[in-house]
Structure 1
Amino acid sequence: MNTTSRARRLSPAERERTILTGARKLVYESGLEAMTVRAIAAEVGVTPALIAHYRPVMDDFVAEVFRDVVSAERVEVLGTVDVSLGLRPTLQGIIETLLDPARDDVAMVWVQSWALGARNPVLAERVRIEMDLWQSGLEDVIRRAGAGIDDPRGAAWMLLAMVDGMSAHALVKWAPHDRAEIARRTLAAVLA
């Protein structure tokens, strides 16, 4: 009597989802640099050849996974904004959310995307698109929440630069212990 059973073969759509889910998990745990055919195959439990069959151009796949990770964060953070709280509390909430150490996995993805994008033009283009979407999204929040802000575009860029810089510093454990306090002071200066 044969006691082994054959695993059900996944459809191409199911396999595609499995590969994408596995790649995202790998990126959240280890960053974009960990995205290799072998690492994804090990994560998903298939051969590297199967990954290469479904994703023949790794640069394109890296850009796709980057987009998925950072756009999910943007939708989550900006999608829950309540501008009726007023400009300062609204922006403070966004900044504190983004600087939360629990989001260091996404900060790592951003930092690596800037470095890897120097040699991966597809990723570089996606990074520029996602940065523009963050900037325009934050600018929109500032416009909706803030009466009297002369330069919402400039304010959005300055706040994102602060978040990016502080997040990058935190990744190498070179950051103030109270990032939120520095963020509050910076926000006050930007809005002054």
Structure 2
Amino acid sequence: MNETFFSIKEYVQRILYEPGSHGFDHTLRVTDLCHTIGMKEQANLDILIPAALFHDIARPVEKKTGIPHEKEGARIAGEYFTSIGYNDPYIPLIQHAIEAHRFSSDPVPVTLEAKILSDADNLDAIGAVGIARTFISSGERNSDIPDAVSHVYEKLLKLKDLMYTQTAEEIAMKRHNFLLYFMSVLENEIK
């Protein structure tokens, strides 16, 4: 998996070269979280890690065309993994994990690997990194602090209750508590 992992990583990095709230650094953090959670939950890393690396591969396509990145990303992953001769039975499982990772769309994750990818992606949206990404995202939309605060209340504070795995629940609780603390300080400062 090591040589294949590095070639997959390089391929994804060439596509996700632009910085931002869903840049390559986000992909790497999600992949690291998937590895950590996957080891504890005994997931198949030969499915999970490629899915994590590819989970946002179609973000640039979505930005240009409006096609949901999770759907297009699953399609791109299928083509890519077939082209490199990756383990055929794993390809549909990788595609399912990519297609089911998004907080706000169907399908729901049914495999352990898809559940872990969803958990890891949601975990990267809360805690200190999640706060930073929220403000980056607000700036990307030419918006302001109240927009970022709204996003925290509309989405981020709900994420701890949406974890599928025990390992992710434990991580989420710590990050959620930090998010609550940050919001109380922020609200005090902007009154």
TM-score normalised to the size of structure 2?
A: 0.35
Higher RCO structure, 1 or 2 (CA under 8 Å, sep 6+): 1
User: Which of the two has higher C-alpha Rg?
Assistant: 1
